[in-house]
Structure 1
């Protein structure tokens, strides 16, 4: 598959934190144009692109479009910004990061500063880092900051997405790479036997909220989530701790902390991958939830499965995926949907 790197770059570099996914929604809506039969959004901001099938049997494919970020909670008298986290951050990686502050008057560049280590006391060096101790410097006098920045403005890390060997690296690959895969599968899907709702969900990073709402609104017979997953195939981890490995193919989820997937669904995903000679690996994620969990219990019990993109350095500005794994996710999702007739028995 020839990967549309420009689209992936646009998706990842566009800002969209939980509850404020507007810019991403505009991009996805544009990409749905001419590909799906109907596009609609809801009061939370979930965006649904529907491909009508030969039957009313409905399948939901969901990929969340929000990224972890921050909200400004206070502007100091000196003009520095204090932050409230939106999603799970490791505060150890925040120092010396460039950020973008999204204000009503336009975007402001900023930095999360880190003072020289030789000016710190031993007590300061040993202090455990916390998000609430982070300050953003936008390089303006305090009166100018007060005019430009309001409490409630959003902040994201500022990072470009680049090709790095066989890998692609940047911010927000969690989960824009899955949105990308969903859009590619929607383009490939032709005259399906079942109706497919492709959904770009919101607020996954703060509790799977968009998926829970959309599952009630659409009430699908079957749901698949697309997300990233841990690839700890790096020094200092044992093989049993890898979860997945870059370059080994699409990850078929067996469980995470929010869901145990339907065994008939993940078995069929494996059968399809083997029949189509698509590289895959099995995913058992010990911690972290996905939209799969939100969809499984919406509007009653649902058969659910998930396909994941193995990703190194999750929840950092340097998330990295292997281009072959991205292609495998697109191939597997497309083949699964092409072969869904609505007659498979997923009851247990």
Structure 2
């Protein structure tokens, strides 16, 4: 059994762009198998770990977190050996020039760098200019297109930020892919703890490490349909507003606990968001207060999770979202608080063990 910090470090060091989550599946599956009653991987790659009460027609709770990370895909190998790319997910283009990346070639992983104009030849009107995706190129040291091919690089190869896990004072942890491997670590700790409570469970519990959130936000849906849960709780990161450039919009900060979402909404191309079930929301707040678990309240524009689509599946599903605050989202230096992750685990396990057979969420009980 590993501690939470070790899980976070080892998970964030893995490479797994959307649709290429195999490394994370291989890491998480043996741990799920140690504790869960049934573990399976569906066609898309959703990793599902379940705990069953044995009670006929038990209600079902789904808790999920996505495994994939943002990155790039090679769209062209230039004649001179440099790589042209397209983004996969919301890569933060402002921070890219000069970054170290890992290129996943067919013969193994190669180190590379995102090129940038030499300082001495940067023209005045180019200084401070953010490059477009079309301007970006990656240098792997290849001298020609043929050389790149011999190194194992082809169109379609995936690229991630280079991992550099760092511990900072006050329980802060930094690396690429904290979004959303920190939440995957929560799932692993939940599996350990739920295992001890199986004889007393009143609901069947499903933990899903899901795929392709950064690309289309819908990779989890086939798994949801196979389970048909009454309740879905998603775990993801959310921007922290405690750096000089972010102060003002929200009170969500590091080390103040996970943020319980009151609303999120994404209007840039995806007109969707989450308005959580009010009874489920109240229950989470009440549990946090009763157990003295630090939590925050969040309203977040520009943020979206799978629950935006899960809510409307089949009969309708009561949803809620928990957010782990993170600085510098979608960059190689995403920074979180270990305490906030610990409190996320505490809140969720406290929620699970208080569920009764008669517990209901949603609004269908308004008229009886």
TM range (shorter): over 0.9
C-alpha separation in 2, matches of 1:256 and 1:207:
17
Q: Aligned equivalents of 2:242 and 2:222: distance in 1?
A: 35
Q: How does 1:1-348 map to 2 (within 5 A)?
A: 3-55=3-55, 56-125=58-127, 127-142=129-144, 143-147=146-150, 148-165=152-169, 166-189=171-194, 190-191=197-198, 192-239=201-248, 241-257=249-265, 258-348=273-363
Cα shift at 1:342: 4.0
* DSSP 3-state at the match of 1:34: helix
The 1:167–1:234 alpha-carbon spacing in structure 2 relative to 1, beyond 3 Å, is: same
Cα-to-partner distance string for 1:104-160 (whole Å, 9 max, x where unaligned): 211111011222233122343364421221111001222221222011110000022
User: In structure 2, how many angstroms separate the alpha carbons of the residues matched to 1:237 and 1:123?
Assistant: 27
- Work out whether residues 39 and 48 of structure 2, in 8 Å CA contact, stay in contact via their aligned partners in 1: yes
| Distance apart, 1:299 and its partner CA | 2.3
TM normalised by structure 1 equals 0.96
Distance 1:115 1:347 in 2: 56
Say which SS state the counterpart of residue 341 (structure 1) adopts: coil
| Offset from partner CA, 1:249-284 (integer Å, 9 cap, x none) | 121111111211111111100111111110111111
Show CA shifts across 1:59-89 (max 9, x none). Answer: 1111000000111110000001111111002
User: Distance in 2 between the 1:4 and 1:90 partners?
Assistant: 27
Q: C-alpha offsets along residues 192-245 of structure 1, whole Å, 9 cap, x if unaligned? A: 211111000000112212122222121111111011111021113333x13511
Unpaired runs of 5+ residues, structure 1, are none
Report the aligned-residue RMSD.
1.5
CA distance in 2, matches of 1:128, 1:247: 32
Q: Is the 8 A contact 1:62 1:291 kept in 2?
A: no
CA distance in 1, matches of 2:103, 2:259: 35
2:80–2:142 contact (8 Å) kept in structure 1 = no
How many angstroms does 1:31 deviate by? 1.5
Query: Is the 1:54–1:194 Cα contact (8 Å) retained in structure 2?
Result: no
- What is the distance in 2 between the residues matched to 1:311 and 1:341? 34
| TM-score normalised by the chain length of structure 2 | 0.91
C-alpha separation in 2, matches of 1:243 and 1:199: 30
Count of paired positions: 346
Where does structure 2 lack aligned partners over 5 or more consecutive residues? Answer: 266-272, 364-368
Q: How far apart, CA to CA, are the structure 1 residues paired with 2:204 and 2:22?
A: 26
User: Residue 209 of structure 1: SS of its match in structure 2?
Assistant: coil
Alignment partners' CA distance in 1, 2:242 and 2:221: 32
**1:15-58 Cα deviation digits (max 9, x unpaired):** 00111111111111022121100111111110100111243211
Q: CA–CA distance in 1 between the matches of 2:315 and 2:332?
A: 37
